[in-house]
Amino acid sequence: MEARLYNKADKNYVNCFLCAHHCKIADGKRGICGVRENRGGTLYTLVYGKVIAHHIDPIEKKPFFQFQPGSHSYSIATVGCNFRCLHCQNFEISQMPKDEKRILGEDITPEEIVNEALETGCKSISYTYTEPTIFFEFAYDCMKFAKEMGLKNTFVTNGFMTKECIDGMKGLLDAANVDVKAFTEEFYKRVCGARLAPVLEAIEYMRQCGIWVEITTLIIPTQNDSEDELRQIAKWIYKTDKTMPWHLSAFYPTYKLNNLPRTPVSIIDRAREIGLEEGLLYVYTGNVPGDPGESTYCYNCKKKIIERFGFAVRKNVVKDSKCPHCGAKIDGVEL
């Protein structure tokens, strides 16, 4: 299928402006994502309708903690990614077009995706596992039909998308969980093959567009775990929108970062303290089942209002988006 969000250029080149790489692609070549190819001066997506993974997940697994809590989301992905993270947990499919020079997937239509979501009782469709921006055309058609059928749409994303891409999803995309992987350009370049600034700009723009945003930082020992860097992230979130939940996840060795240890729980808990010290209203710990930081607490009276264990919601006493104990407004979607 012909891709969207690109311009034709001289000598059969095309300029792609789907993501912040802004690839200039020669005839017969592909962009950094590995799934958008220039054929004779026309850019094509190679993954439209080619779903490599589809599962029913708790929305908390994305993670979204203040978006339809306790619900299930129909989750889909194609192969490909515009990052090359050394610690990618889904590298077999995200890096397949580049590492294996293959594009695999089950042919499926947007209508079939939406119907399966409805039949299985899901309240949303999540575009996840790999980077959903790179299968924008397919996600767009799924989102459009999902909206018509009363479902919500969420992106689990690295946030490396353009304003034009976000504009294209206005009114269709309800929420995004965006990775802020670190707070230095050096980390993004060395570990991810990307840049930090466009991610921050995309988050700011999504909030301006009314998209609910939650942020995740995977804390990697020796790489992005200093108190100073974590505090910088917290300060930026506070300045941008202190109601955005911040998820702090523990790292497990994988892919090309097998030489590093797991993240100590003490560092995850300290990171949460830093977020709260900087004035954030909702800060969560991840990959540590049973940790108190999994639950939601009222920022005003400090009482527990949504109790979780792992990806399961055990108790939710929020009523009409308010704390039942003190009446404080609790931010989120369909709490």
Tokens found for residue 307: 């109790």
CA distances from 155 to 30, 125, 182, 215 (A): 24, 9, 20, 12
Q: Where are the domains of the chain?
A: 6-45, 50-294, 296-327
Phi, psi values for residue 58, rounded to 5°: -60, 140
Tokens found for residue 44: 């094509």
Query: How do residues 287-301 score in pLDDT, each as one tens digit?
Result: 999 999 999 999 999
Mean pLDDT in the chain? 98
Tokens found for residue 265: 């729980």
Of the candidates 158, 157, 154, which has an alpha carbon nearest to the alpha carbon of residue 169? Answer: 154
78 — pLDDT class (breaks 50, 70, 90): very high
What is the pTM for the complete model shown? 0.97
Specify the CATH number for 50-294; select among 3.20.20.70, 3.40.50.300, 1.10.600.10, 3.30.70.380. Answer: 3.20.20.70
Q: Which residues, 6+ apart, have CB-to-CB distance to 307 below 8 Å? A: 295, 313, 314, 315, 316
pLDDT at residue 141, rounded to an integer: 98
